[in-house]
Amino acid sequence: MGSLTIHSPTSSRRQFLKTTAAGATLATAAITGLYRPASAQKKAIPLLFPTLPYPENALEPYLSAKTLHIHHDRHHRKYMEETIARVKGTDYENATLEKIIKETYGGITMIETLHLMAVLAWNHDFYWKSMKPKGGGELPPKLKTMILEAFGSVDAFKKEFKEAAMTFGSGWAWLVLDKGKAAVTYTKYHESPLLLNQTPLLTTDTWEHAYYLDYQDRKGDYADAFLNNLANWSFAEKNLSAAAPAAPSTTAPAPVKKSEKKK
């Protein structure tokens, strides 16, 4: 379960630096990396507001075109434009969202806002890719193997994911790779699994703006539709395959002794 602390704007740098050694390193990197003259910057690779990977009406009837239009063209656009505006003239102008997210996590007010905007921009891009028209259905083989190892059955995984997606309040339910094992997590507001050394495989947005026009208070029905009709398991499989070669074998968990579970 994610439990990141986003330091309040009143936290002083000194307080933050005392908080964690890792955090202090990130904060120091963020301070020294910011506000260099434009002439010192590398060739620009500008951050862009990404288009949806499918038409706005492609996920109907499970998510309406109206929901996708407002969610993508207003909410997501705002997070991306706020991010772009805040990195203008800094070393982060050419950085990836991942780099911005990792280096701006800290207790400095100015960077904190950039951090949360960058996380929301990244999460939304990942969310659109986590769905597809005619999604759901059978899990690809590698993903299915990981799910069975971690949860025992696909239904058990779905039950846990649905419970995470129904967590009260605004957040994100995730299928992640954590220490070489598939896991379900939940992050609040603008928290990122990238800061928890987890590899995101799939996510669903559980802020009200993601589902309210179509489902109102039926958040569980939205979670069911995501899992059974929208989830892009191929995207999760692709993320799993990309992460697997880099997984450190020294921290991999011991193989599950299936014989112990059988009677």
Q: Which of 56, 103, 205, 214 is in the footprint of Mn ion by CB under 5 A?
A: 205
Residue with tokens 């239009």: 69
Query: What tokens appear for 230 in the block?
Result: 């929208």
Residue with smaller CB distance to Mn ion, 112 or 205: 205
The stretch near Mn ion (CB under 5 A) out of 22-30, 36-44, 173-181, 204-212 is 204-212
CB-based contact 7:112 (threshold 8 Å): yes
Interaction of residue 207 with Mn ion, rule CB under 5 A: yes
Residues 177-196, interacting with Mn ion (CB under 5 A)? none
Nearest to 69 by CA among 54, 84, 79: 54
Q: By the 8 A CB rule, do 239 and 193 touch?
A: no
**Binding range to Mn ion, per CB under 5 A, among 162-170, 174-182, 205-213, 229-237:** 205-213
Read off the tokens for 154: 């696909």
Residue 205 pairs in a beta bridge with: 172
CB of 103 vs Mn ion, minimal distance in Å: 23
Least distance (Å) between residue 205 CB and Mn ion: 4
Candidates 5-13, 99-107, 176-184, 199-207; binding stretch for Mn ion (CB under 5 A)? 199-207
Beta bridge partners of 129: none
- Scanning 52-60, 95-103, 143-151, 198-206 for contacts with Mn ion by CB under 5 A, the matching segment is 198-206
> E strands, 78-180, where?
171-178
The residue at minimum Cβ distance from Mn ion is 205
Quote the CA–CA distance of 263 and 260 in Å, as a whole number. Answer: 8
Q: Per CB under 5 A, does 212 bind Mn ion?
A: no
Q: Which residues bind Mn ion (CB under 5 A)?
A: 205, 207
